[in-house]
Structure 1
Amino acid sequence: MNTTCVILAAGLGKRMNSSLPKVLHKTCGIPMLQSVIDTARKLKCGKIVVVTGRHGDLIEKTLATPDVTYVLQKEPKGTGHALLCAREALHGLHGVLLVLNGDTPLVNAETIKKFLKQHAGNKSGVSVLSFIAENPDDYGRIVRDASGQVLAIVEQKDADASQRGIREVNSGVYAINQDLLHLLDDIQINRKKGEYYLTDIIALSARKGIKTTALCVGIEREFMGVNTKQELYRASRIMEKSIIEKWIEKGVNILDAGSVFIHPHAVIGPETTLYPNVYIDGATRIGRGVTIYPNVRISQSRISDRAVIKDSTVIEESVVKAGATVGPFAHLRPGSEVGADAKIGNFVELKKAVIGTGAKASHLSYLGDARIGKGVNIGAGTITCNYDGRKKSLTVVEEGVFVGSDSQLVAPVRIGRGAYIGAGSTITKDVPPHALAVSRVEQRNIKDWAKKRRAQNEREAKAKRKENKAKR
């Protein structure tokens, strides 16, 4: 079935009390509209059209979705008018038009697939997806005749006493055969609101004898519309819980589900263990058998199989390869890569640094704009001096090098294969392979210096006490 999707996203969202367009408010780290676009992509829609309002430019720029066509509803004249605005973008297309809403981030692709399948199986011309609401007051009611045939959608304010008792309600999701889009021209303006309501297409279609169905295949929480910050908070909690449950079902060990955050676009391999207060953001990819200890934040990164990320570590836009260990209290800044079985220890910071297989930087080091070879040992307190006040330069440490503690490697500089750097050295020139580089001052031992110093200190203290006594 050829399906085109139109997402209605022109609402102003005044009740959000924010200058940000409603559909750009985030649930679980992504804009609500992005969640709905993701659902449309899962349905493999041939074309996705988003109808925006006066904030259209900001929405399009923020989402940066080149596969989506954006159209503008210049005046807020209701959902029926919004769909009319998309007509030009739908010209020449055939099949079924699916209508979704940009403020329903919890909508599930599997539910929509079921809805579309039933729409096609019933050979319907127009269908609305419905569900049973615990409290239907905020929804339009699905009105049926004695045989169960849908007659209309009636809003709460227009419903009579009997209709208000109906619990089957409108989700705002429609399937309309594209050859029936001319029905939009027949929707009449609501005089009280000055708007054209897409809900009226159900009664209009039924009166014209077109096969019209209300398919009750949804659950209420999926179609929760977000209009306030309170509803945004509730939607986020529901989404967070469903994401956690999905990964537990796939074999991830989550020790405290209430304190772990997993972004909707993240992927986690089975047998990985997440300790409390782990925050996995963006399109992060985590392999099998990884252990992530408490208070770790990982953003837009790739963590390979069997890696260990220790407590209070931050990893941003970086790669950690199989079997590597990072942390505790380490910081991997964007562009860094930790090689297989390498170790980055406590209070080590990397910035655009590539660490070779089996290399170690175990304590208190800064490695910026660096290429560290296989099996290198970086001593405690080592830093690469990568910035001269004008530009950044590269430090290269080749395979098998030993760098002593408290060394400064002033870039640009290259340490040759197998070389040794003596502790406390400041290296400003390239070091040949297998050489020893030492730049510190030669040590002198001055006999009895400390004893003489202490005696002098005591004489000065005694004189000070005598002076103070004379003043009294």
Structure 2
Amino acid sequence: MTAKLQALILAAGKGTRMKSELPKVVHPILGKPMVAYVIEAVKAVGCDKVTLIIGYKSELVRNMLTGADVSFVEQPQQMGTGHAVQCFAKEIATMPEHLLVVCGDTPLISTSTLRQMIEMHNSQKPAITMMTLNMENPGNYGRILRKDGKVFAIREARDCSAEELKVKEVNLAVYLFEGQFLKDNIFKLTASNQQKEYYLTDLVELAVQKGLPVVSCIEKDESSTLGINSRQHLADVSAILQQQILDQLMSDGVTITSPQNTFIGPDVNIAPDTVIHPGTMISGRCSIGRDCVVGPNTHISDSTIGNGCNLEACIIKGASITDNSNIEPFSLVEG
């Protein structure tokens, strides 16, 4: 399926609860736009083309993703997720055989669950495969409605009856569509709901009405589903991603003496037997060799550090440090 699989990332919103003029999807997490993590995830599972739906301050989004190897489609008015996919359908010459639709504000999205979802879609060949989660407190998530065990609808929380609100299985807004079904039905969506928006979720009922199968892939890790709608969410997700990075480095043989006082970005490589002391910040694209001692209170950005180096209380910017170098405290080294 890989050569016929494309991804569409919904990234048009402003994110009013962020209280910012910056489009939500380009708010930085550990030094890079949150949507960059989503782009990396869909590429990792085999999407050979990635398109972003953009709207609010679209030129800024384009500029901040220069070099990301993605395409863009404009959604001038944000009239719902279904409308976003309609904008995509109008712009493209041919609908892909399979289209993965995800949100741009979910940087923790699980590549393992996406792969499982793709495998399920490939083997069962439904019209729609979607990702769901069982939550004890579903809140404002859309509910998955089933009859005899089979999905027959997704109901937005604001449109649910009191009985439907008791459902624990929720929609995570991650969909894999069979392309022909999407092409035939995306413009059949209507805005007959409280929000007067075009809901992508209504395609589930359209598929069921036509007797076409709809299947769900259940996510087990609730943290991977976290979307970002506020500065608090941004901080929560940043902390999770930072801990994942530190845990992986320590598993790979790097000593980090005070993880809670260390910042290491997502594009940093550190060889085993290197020691990182508190107050160290390593950001941008960096490579650090074996048997180094870094810190305390050292800042390194976009640099290459050789093997056996000692860097204490210094700043390294865009530099290349040779093996066995000793950088004195309070030094500034720039490339």
TM-score by length of 1: 0.68
CA distance in 2, matches of 1:176, 1:159: 24
Partner of 2:129: 127
Partner of 2:235: 233
Letter matched to residue 49 of structure 2: K
Change (3 A) 1:59 1:298: same
Displacement of 1:138 in angstroms is: 2.4
Query: After TM superposition, where is structure 1 displaced by more than 6 Å over at least 4 residues in a row?
Result: none
Question: In the TM superposition, what are the counterparts of 1:33-44 in structure 2 within 5 Å?
Answer: 33-44=35-46
Q: Unmatched 5+ residue regions in structure 1?
A: 336-472
1:130–1:218 Cα contact (<8 Å) kept: no
Pick one of 194, 197, 220 that aligns with 2:196. 194
Residue 249 of structure 2 aligns to a residue in which SS? Answer: helix
- Report the RMSD for the aligned CA atoms in angstroms: 1.6
- 1:288-307 aligned within 5 A: 288-307=290-309
CA distance in 1, matches of 2:115, 2:32: 23
- Residue 317 (1) aligns with residue 318 (2): yes
* Contact 2:159 2:194 survives alignment (8 Å): no
Q: Does structure 1 residue 118 correspond to structure 2 residue 120?
A: yes
Question: Which residue does 2:71 correspond to in 1?
Answer: 69
Could you tell me which residue of structure 2 aligns to residue 5 of structure 1? 7
Greater Cα shift, 126-135 or 158-167: 158-167
2:164 maps to 1:156 = no
5+ residue gaps, structure 2: none
User: Any idea what SS the aligned residue of 1:128 has?
Assistant: strand
Cα distance in 1, alignment partners of residues 269 and 26 from structure 2: 23
Q: CA–CA distance in 2 between the matches of 1:260 and 1:46?
A: 36
Counterpart check, 1:176 vs 2:177: yes
Give the aligned partner of residue 168 of structure 2. Answer: 167
- Higher RCO, Cα 8 Å, sep 6+: 2
Contact 2:27–2:33 (8 Å) recurs in 1: yes
Amino acid at match of 2:113: T
Return the offset for 1:88: 4.2
- Structure-2 separation of matches of 1:93 and 1:290: 52
1:32 positional shift: 1.0
2:308 is aligned with what amino acid?
R
Q: 1:29 aligns with which of 6, 28, 31?
A: 31
Query: Higher Cα Rg: structure 1 or 2?
Result: 1
Q: Describe the SS at the equivalent of 1:138.
A: coil
SS of 2:73 mapped into structure 1: strand
CA distance in 2, matches of 1:214, 1:97: 16
Query: Could you say which residue in structure 2 is the equivalent of 1:284?
Result: 286
Contact 2:116 2:217 in 1 (8 A): no
TM-score by length of 2: 0.94
Q: Which has the higher helix share?
A: 2
Q: How many residues align?
A: 332
Q: Deviations over 1:99-121 (max 9, x none)?
A: 11111111122221122112212
Secondary structure, in 3 states, of the residue corresponding to 1:160? coil
Can you list the C-alpha shifts for 1:288-341, whole angstroms capped at 9, x where unaligned? 22221211111111112222212x1111111112222212221111x2xxxxxx
Q: What secondary structure, in the 3-state scheme, does the structure 2 residue paired with 1:136 have?
A: coil
Residue 284 of structure 1: how far off its partner (Å): 1.0
SS in 2 for 1:86: helix
SS in 2 for 1:135: coil
Q: Distance in 2 between matches of 1:272 and 1:110?
A: 30
Instruction: Give the AA of the match of 2:329.
Output: P
CA distance in 1, matches of 2:322, 2:165: 59
Q: Distance in 2 between matches of 1:290 and 1:134?
A: 46
